[in-house]
Amino acid sequence: MSKAIVKTDFQFPGQVNVYKGKVRDVYDINNDYLVMVASDRLSAFDVVLPKGIPYKGQVLNQIASKFLDATADIVPNWKIATPDPNVTVGHRCQPFAVEMIVRAYLTGSSWRLYKEGGREICGVALPDGMKEHQAFPQPILTPSTKAELGAHDENISRQDILAKGIVSEADYVLLEKYALALFQRGSEMAKEKGLILVDTKYEFGKKDGQIYLIDEIHTPDSSRYFYAITARIKNNFLKSLCVNG
C-alpha cells in the first residue's frame, strides 16, 4: 500500500503564505489564487489522528471536484483546475464569516438540542413530537459562525446575522438561495447512488464583487449521508408500530 501523504512542504512561485489545516494544506499565491492540497490526514472531533489513510485525500478531492463541476450552473465556484488527484487550484476569495448549513433530517446536533427540549434552531421553529432521524417537511437552513482558529462554530439565526452586519441582506438572500439549490442538486445526485443527503455545509466568499462557492462540497468530511434502503426499512418499521399500536 502506498505511503499516506500526511504533510507537504511546497514552495510555489509567488507563494506568500501557507495554511496547514486539519486535512488540507492551502498555499496562497500572490493573494489571488490558492493551491489546496488534500492530504491523507484523518481528523475526528477536531483532533488529527497520528496516522493517515492512503488515498483518502485523493478521494476527498475528487469527490469535491466532481460536485463543484456538477453545480457550477447554480453558482460560480472557486475551482479553476485539478492538476493532480490531491490538488485543486482556484480563486482566493474573501470568505463570508458564516457557514450555510442545510438539514433535511432531525439528527446529530439538531437531535441533541431537540432531545434536551429545544424547539428552535437558528430561529427555525421545530414542532413537538418529532423523532430522531425524522425528515423535516422541507430542508431547513441553520447557519453557524465561522470560528477563529482553535474556537468552535456557533449556531446563529438569520436575524442575528443581519442585525450584527455579518453579511448584508442582499448577499444573505443569495446565500440562502444558493445553499438550498445546491442541497437540492446534491440530494438528486445522492439518490441516483442509493443515498440520502442528510445535512451538509456550504461556504461562500467574494472576489471582485462576485459571490463564489468555496472549499469542499458534498464530501463525507462536510456532509452526512444515509443509505436510502436503511432509511426506508426504519420508516416502514416505525409506521407499523404506529398502526399496530
Q: What pLDDT is stored for residue 2 in this prediction?
A: 66
* Weakest mean pLDDT among 28-37, 47-56, 171-180, 184-193: 47-56
Domain boundaries, the chain: 15-91, 94-244
Q: What pLDDT is stored for residue 98 in this prediction?
A: 97
Q: Please give the model's pTM, rounded to 2 decimal places.
A: 0.90
Query: For 48-73, what is the mean pLDDT?
Result: 96
**pLDDT above 60 (res 244):** no
Other CB atoms within 10 A of residue 28 CB: 17
- Residue 148's pLDDT band, with cuts at 50, 70 and 90, is low
CATH of segment(s) 15-91: 3.30.200.20
User: Can you spell out the DSSP letters for 76-126?
Assistant: -BSEEEEEETTEEEEE--EE-SEEEEEEEES-THHHHHHHTT--EETTEE-
SS3 label, residue 21: coil
Q: Are domains 15-91 and 94-244 of this chain identical in fold?
A: no
Task: Encode pLDDT of 87-143 as tens digits.
Answer: 999 999 999 999 999 999 999 999 999 999 999 999 999 999 999 999 999 999 999
Q: What is the third-level CATH fold of 94-244?
A: D-amino Acid Aminotransferase; Chain A, domain 1 (3.30.470)
Q: Are strands 33-38 and 24-29 parallel, antiparallel or unpaired?
A: antiparallel
